[in-house]
Amino acid sequence: MNPIFLIVILFPVIEIYLLIKIGSEIGAITTILLIFTTAVIGVYYAKYEGLNTLKSGFVQLSRNQSPTYEVVSGAAIAFAALLLIIPGFLSDLIGFLLIFPFSRKLILNKFTKNYKNEKHVKKDYIDGDFEDIEDDDDRKI
């Protein structure tokens, strides 16, 4: 079975289960207030981290370097803000893990280890072989 299909099915089931379990322990009003609080705090912190990432990206550009990590990090922060707005405790946990720089770096390094940024050196020559051909040879072009 497709893993993405399983995630799409299991994610809401786990969210509903956690909402019911935590809501039965701490109460419905407290659960709702907790969800709103995590959304407000998370979106505020996402804005803060997003501006820091944008600033870091401009610093990379001013040094004539590619801001690859900053672009990917900015996308992760935007996704984390979306997860924090969605009501639920699992989405909040994943969102907060993506917002904090230390855990975001660990997660992004795990997903991008196959795509490391290699320095591309521009060559001023063309590498190849040659063969001298006599004028009376039939192989000349």
pLDDT digits (tens, 9 = 90+) for 60-110: 999 988 888 899 999 999 999 999 999 999 999 999 999 999 999 998 888
Tell me how far apart the alpha carbons of residues 62 and 72 are, in angstroms, rounded to a whole number. Answer: 18
Q: Does residue 133 lie in a domain region?
A: no
The Cα-based distances of 68 to 48, 106, 132, 133 in angstroms read 20, 16, 46, 48
Q: Does residue 66 lie in a domain region?
A: yes
> What is the pTM assigned to this prediction?
0.73
Q: Does residue 24 lie in a domain region?
A: no
Q: Does residue 119 lie in a domain region?
A: no
Q: Does residue 108 lie in a domain region?
A: yes
pLDDT value, residue 118: 52
Nearest-CA neighbor of 117 among 77, 67, 76, 82? 67
pLDDT tens sequence across 9-37: 999 999 999 999 999 999 999 999 999 99
Q: Is the pLDDT of residue 129 over 70?
A: yes
Contact (CB, 8 A) for 103 and 45: no
Three-state SS for 116? coil
- Given pLDDT bands bounded at 50, 70 and 90, which one contains residue 47? very high
The Cα-based distances of 70 to 11, 18, 33, 83, 91 in angstroms read 28, 33, 33, 20, 23
**Domain count within the chain:** 1
Tell me how far apart the alpha carbons of residues 99 and 49 are, in angstroms, rounded to a whole number. Answer: 7
Helix axes 28-62, 68-85, angle to 10 degrees: 170
Q: Does residue 126 lie in a domain region?
A: no
Q: Does residue 140 lie in a domain region?
A: no
Q: Write out the residue range of the structural domain in which residue 72 sits.
A: 36-113
Q: Does residue 78 lie in a domain region?
A: yes
The two structure tokens encoding residue 8: 């799409």
